[in-house]
Chains A and B, each alone.
Chain A
Amino acid sequence: MKKTYYLFNPGRLSRKDNTLKFTPVDDDGKELMPKYIPVENVSDLYLYGSLDANSALYNFLGKSRINVHFFDYYEHYTGSFYAKEYLQAGKLQVEQTRHYLSDKNRLEIARPLIKGAAHNMLRNLKYYKNRGKNTTPAIDTIEQWISDIDQSQAIDQLMGIEGNIRQCYYIGIDEILKDLKMEGRSKQPPKNEVNSLISFGNMICYTICLDQIYHTQLNPTISFLHEPGARRFSLALDIAEIFKPLLVDRVIFSLLNKQQLKADDFHDGTGRITLKEKGKKVFLKAWEDRLNQTIKHRSLGRHVSYKHLIKLECYKLCNHLIGAKEYQPFKAWW
């Protein structure tokens, strides 16, 4: 399977002999030994360090269908180099837009999205309940909110329910975590370590969803749960909703509870808590392992990775849009 490459070192990435050549530079600006990245084996690039590149490289990346995601100094997602769409399908595009325009059709997709997300959150809480954590109150309230989803008649109402579910879930998270606590969600800027991890993780999850959408016929700008806005790929937000509890949160719980990440892996930049580079690498390593972990898929009857599950979710959405099969959200069954 193709791999994701994470570039931390500052350096120059160039096209050389029809493959990628990365020349790192040290602190004095001296060039070090170049490394060649086999282009046939790259699925996407994540850039954390500063990188020199020219348009010849981007042309080459575009041709090879490699997306590049950029992150700034404060590890915020700043944007993507999105290679030219190669799986356009006019009919699906029309259907996708039509489903967005009709409130009824839109809700038919938005409701299962929330249900899937809530179900996966419950999975996490129940998993830790079996390990002796007191998550029962959170579980009970979330289950009540879930029963309200089918009654919701408008997107705002649905988003309200989603917010309530999340709030209960975050209370549950504090029960799960041993040392560091979350104490409510804060973003822009995240006020403590757990919040900072969640922000970082959600952002990575969002980009991976975008990557998977790219390899399907869906248009990433037309979404159902979130409002499609300008300059953002909001369908990735929709899909990420389902996978955040399963991928991001579980990685965070295990890293924190096993103390692979500790308070000194973060630094405080005037009220904004961010991961240090070492911490970032620890997180991304665990994240990579998680994505490549496989499960035996029930209906496909074969092993699929978590990464591939995201793509399967996109396919399900396609099937719903063209009227082949009603959309059922992915629910963790183990």
Chain B
Amino acid sequence: MYVILVYDMNQKRVAKMLKLCRRYLHWIQNSVFEGELTGVQLKSLKIEAKEIMRGDDSLIIFKSKDERWLEKEVVGDEKNKIDNFL
């Protein structure tokens, strides 16, 4: 499935969350990631995220069946283009 992930963390833990998300998804903006994940991958990402999270930290995941069904519009600067040709 295609996933968009956003988080709002306490400053103390934000770096930890960034590192975790980088392993699974593409960074597109501060605290925003997107990419293709399998069900199992998403589950393990969530488990690992829960271990980091404390207090009123929050993590939201938007799911879509396929990238095709996602209409993405960028206004202004596209900070990180997602491509598998580097």
Binds B, one of A2-10, A170-178, A180-188, A227-235: A2-10
Do residues B37 and A41 form an inter-chain contact, with CB atoms below 8 A? yes
Binds A, one of B6-14, B19-27, B52-60, B69-77: B19-27
A276 to chain B, nearest CB (A): 15
Q: A18's closest neighbor in chain B, by CB?
A: B23
B residues sitting closer than 8 Å to A (CB atoms) are: 19, 22-27, 35-38, 41, 80, 84-86
B9 to chain A, nearest CB (A): 16
In the complex, chain B residues whose CB is within 8 Å of the CB of A288: 84
In the complex, chain A residues whose CB is within 8 Å of the CB of B24: 38, 40-41
Do residues A19 and B23 form an inter-chain contact, with CB atoms below 8 A? yes
Q: How far is the CA of A19 from the CA of B35 in the complex (A)?
A: 15
10 closest cross-chain pairs (CB), A and B:
A17-B19, A19-B23, A36-B22, A5-B84, A40-B24, A19-B22, A6-B85, A7-B86, A3-B84, A38-B24
Is A24 in the interface zone, CB < 8 Å from B?
Answer: yes
In the complex, chain A residues whose CB is within 8 Å of the CB of B35: 38, 41
In the complex, chain A residues whose CB is within 8 Å of the CB of B27: 36
A128 to chain B, nearest CB (A): 30
Is A285 in the interface zone, CB < 8 Å from B?
Answer: yes
18 contacts between A and B (CB under 8 A): A5-B86, A6-B85, A7-B86, A8-B85, A19-B22, A19-B23, A22-B86, A24-B86, A35-B86, A36-B26, A36-B27, A37-B86, A38-B35, A39-B23, A41-B24, A41-B36, A281-B85, A288-B84
Q: A5-B84, A11-B86, A19-B19 are in contact. List 11 more A-B contacts (CB 8 A).
A: A3-B36, A3-B84, A4-B84, A8-B85, A8-B86, A17-B23, A24-B86, A38-B35, A41-B37, A281-B85, A288-B84
Q: A7's closest neighbor in chain B, by CB?
A: B86
In the complex, chain B residues whose CB is within 8 Å of the CB of A4: 84
In the complex, chain B residues whose CB is within 8 Å of the CB of A284: 85
